[in-house]
Structure 1
Amino acid sequence: MIRVTFWQGKDGNLRGFTVTGHAGYRIKGEDIVCAAVSALAQTTVLSLQEHLRYLEKENKEPVVTLREGDLQCLVPDGLSPAGAGTAGVILRTLEIGLQAIATDYAQHVRVEYKKYKTADCGKLTQGS
């Protein structure tokens, strides 16, 4: 099963996401569920990198961790209003797409929401 966690700040806005696992819908190379989730998540990372690079005066790219079957992307603290707004729209678009996939393939994709705190954006710790 693919598990998607959306990380929310204290204000409830999306600050990032984690995707783990494999859908198990079909064999590797034929799994349309895995391909759909991967395409949305990777496009989100690329879009955040591109837009934040353009909007932010300082280097404020998302913090991305990628391993086999796992992807985590966190938006850094201290974005400009334009950067924060753009990041929010991009993350909300991912949320809509993944919720639709989770609805159609509920046995293969689960979406959840958690609060987080960061000492620095690279170290994620769950909040209350």
Structure 2
Amino acid sequence: MIAAEFKQRKGTGIVEFSIKGHSGYSESGSDIVCAAVSSAAYMAANTITDVIGAKPEIDLSDGFLVLKLSLQDALKCSVITEGLKLHVLALSEQYQDFIKVKISEV
């Protein structure tokens, strides 16, 4: 199962997101659920770093991505991170047995 977590701060937006695990929907290489979540997360991370120019802390390995933003960068990146959150939430509604989303205030 994929576990996605979004940590948000009132007045600032999302300051951290993490995507962990594999969905188990299908075999590796043909898993559309993993592909959808991974593609969205990478697009968000690349937009944050390469388009907006933010300097987040990133921890990345197979089946694991954590991106942490400074408060200033969180404000600049809020449209991207909110879009990612909405996209992953929509996927989790469609694939309830394969994606779990947690949203917390920090």
Distance 1:103 1:12, change over 3 A: farther
Q: What is the deviation of 1:67? A: 1.4
Deviations along 1:74-95, whole A, 9 cap, x unmatched?
Answer: 112334xxx72x4000001101
**Identical amino acids, percent of aligned pairs:** 28
For structure 2, list consecutive stretches of 5 or more residues without a partner in the other structure: none
- Stretches of 4+ aligned residues off by more than 4 angstroms: none
- Within a 5 Å distance, the mapping from 1:61-80 to structure 2 comes to 61-79=55-73
Distance 2:7 2:62 in 1: 21
Distance 2:14 2:78 in 1: 6
Aligned counterpart for 2:83 among listed residues 65, 70, 93: 93
Amino acid at match of 1:110: K
Q: What is the deviation of 1:105? A: 0.1
Q: State the number of aligned residues.
A: 106
- Within a 5 Å distance, the mapping from 1:1-128 to structure 2 comes to 1-11=1-11, 13-53=13-53, 60-79=54-73, 84=75, 86-116=76-106
| Aligned-CA RMSD value | 1.6
Does 1 or 2 have the higher relative contact order (CA < 8 Å, sep 6+)? 2
Q: What is the deviation of 1:5? A: 0.3
Question: Does the Cα contact within 8 Å between 2:3 and 2:99 map onto a contact in 1?
Answer: yes
Q: Point out the structure with max Rg over C-alpha.
A: 1
Deviations along 1:20-70, whole A, 9 cap, x unmatched?
Answer: 0100000000100000000000110000002332xxxxxx41111001211
For residue 59 of structure 2, give the secondary structure of its aligned residue in structure 1. strand
Question: Does the Cα contact within 8 Å between 2:12 and 2:71 map onto a contact in 1?
Answer: no
For residue 27 of structure 1, give the secondary structure of its aligned residue in structure 2. coil
Deviations along 1:88-126, whole A, 9 cap, x unmatched?
Answer: 00001101110110000000001101234xxxxxxxxxx
Distance 2:104 2:37 in 1: 19
For structure 1, list consecutive stretches of 5 or more residues without a partner in the other structure: 54-59, 117-128
TM-score under structure 2 length normalisation: 0.90
